Structure 1
Amino acid sequence: MPAKVRTPRESWVEAGLSALAAGGPDAVRIEALAGSLRVTKGGFYWHFRDRRALLDAMLDHWEATLVDRTIEAADHGGGEGRARLRRLFRAADADGLLGLEVAVRDWARRDPAVAERVARVDDRRTAYLRPLFAEFCAGPADVEGRCLLVLTLFVGESLVAATHGRRTRPAVTAAALRHLLA
């Protein structure tokens, strides 16, 4: 008799993240996830003690993907601040995870523990950006302003519904990033 194949832990996390992005934290339900994975919910408990443990694992994945891996991609190859910032901007948008970013931030509006996590992540992001901007900015106020603009652009760009005449959104976003690197 062949050994039972368990649904990998990562599959549960990814299904949870998809549900979060589509419907918020209330959409992350064990039974619904099991259905989307076409497995029984019993396999869930092999990897997680409860729903809260899954939610924590989802936040860990969000942070690892949108902070750790993005920073690794930016640092790959070294170079001066502007070059690393260009790579950072490309890496942050490469996986198309901005919907997940917005969903986590919406969740943080209702859950103080998630809000603390988002604040810590934003502080990590800003701590990474500061020395890169400091290489070519006039002073600390300019550095902080650019750090805030980068985070605002990253988080808020997808929420802005404005049109830009004959210019495409990617072209306008690229122009904004060029200004930040000037």
Structure 2
Amino acid sequence: MTDTGKEPWLTEGLALLAEQGAQALTLERLCERLGKTKGSFYHHFGSMPKYRTSLLAYFEAGFTAAIIDAVERSDAGSGREKLERLLLKVALRDGPELEIAMRAWAKQDPEAKAVQARVDETRTAYLRTLCGQAGFADPDRMAKLLYVVLIGAGHLTPPLPSAEVVGLYELLLSSDQTVIG
């Protein structure tokens, strides 16, 4: 994903973001948490704006592209099998704190907003493709519905447990897709 010198900074940045939000992404906090010097930080990133750009790219690569790649490389052959694998993978991931923090950051920062929009588009496009391959009558709406469940489940207080999210996905995938109205 990235060279080993930068990766600890990026991993710790995502942890800090998930725990305390974008305002906590300061050079001092990162150095303190990693036990590293400011010189080490500047060696790898040059500036805090370049670090934030790298952090956003790291998030996009690790929490979107890598997940899609893993599903595509899996033994799951049909669109339905890939869809089920993907939904299980995202439902059973760690808590929703990072996703929530990324969305909050995107509300305050144009660069984060652009990355979040691209992440959402990439994720829903992949879901749309899998829903089409799985034979859903309206793959676009089903993709949006599946994605909204994931995002919404994390925003409830308390967030829905993984088992409940999996249950909701099972219900949606078994639905007859009756449309109201």
TM-score over 0.5 for the pair: yes
Q: Deviations over 1:74-100 (max 9, x none)?
A: 222241111101111122244416321
Structure-2 separation of matches of 1:112 and 1:169: 31
In the comparison of the two structures, how many residue pairs are matched?
A: 169
Give 1 or 2 for the bigger CA radius of gyration: 1
Residue 181 of structure 1 aligns with which residue?
Answer: 173
Residue 159 of structure 1 aligns with which residue?
Answer: 155
Q: Deviations over 1:125-173 (max 9, x none)?
A: 11111121113112xxx2122111121122221221379xxxx844432
* Structure 1 residues 10 and 95: alpha-carbon distance in aligned structure 2, compared to 1, 3 A threshold: farther
Structure-2 separation of matches of 1:84 and 1:40: 44
Name stretches of at least 5 consecutive residues in structure 2 with no aligned partner: 175-181
Relative contact order higher in (CA < 8 Å, ≥ 6 apart)? 2
Contact 1:12 1:33 in 2 (8 A): yes
Structure-2 separation of matches of 1:147 and 1:85: 10
| Matched AA of 2:149 | L
Deviation at 1:122, TM superposition (A): 0.9
Contact 2:80 2:131 in 1 (8 A): yes
* Structure 1 residues 171 and 23: alpha-carbon distance in aligned structure 2, compared to 1, 3 A threshold: closer
Percent pairwise identity = 33
Name stretches of at least 5 consecutive residues in structure 1 with no aligned partner: 1-6
Contact 1:66 1:92 in 2 (8 A): no
Deviation at 1:69, TM superposition (A): 1.3
Contact 2:76 2:85 in 1 (8 A): no
| Matched AA of 1:157 | A
**Stretches of 4+ moved more than 6 A in 1?**
none
Deviation at 1:16, TM superposition (A): 1.2
Superposed, 1:70-85 pairs within 5 Å as: 70-75=67-72, 76-85=74-83
Q: Deviations over 1:83-120 (max 9, x none)?
A: 10111112224441632111111100111221121111
Structure-2 separation of matches of 1:94 and 1:65: 16
Superposed, 1:15-34 pairs within 5 Å as: 15-34=12-31
3-state DSSP class of the match of 2:139?
helix
3-state DSSP class of the match of 1:17?
helix
Q: Does 1:98 align with 2:96?
A: yes
Contact 1:20 1:100 in 2 (8 A): yes
Residue 111 of structure 1 aligns with which residue?
Answer: 109
Contact 1:34 1:41 in 2 (8 A): yes
1:122 to 106, 120, 125: 120
3-state DSSP class of the match of 1:8?
coil
* Structure 1 residues 91 and 110: alpha-carbon distance in aligned structure 2, compared to 1, 3 A threshold: same
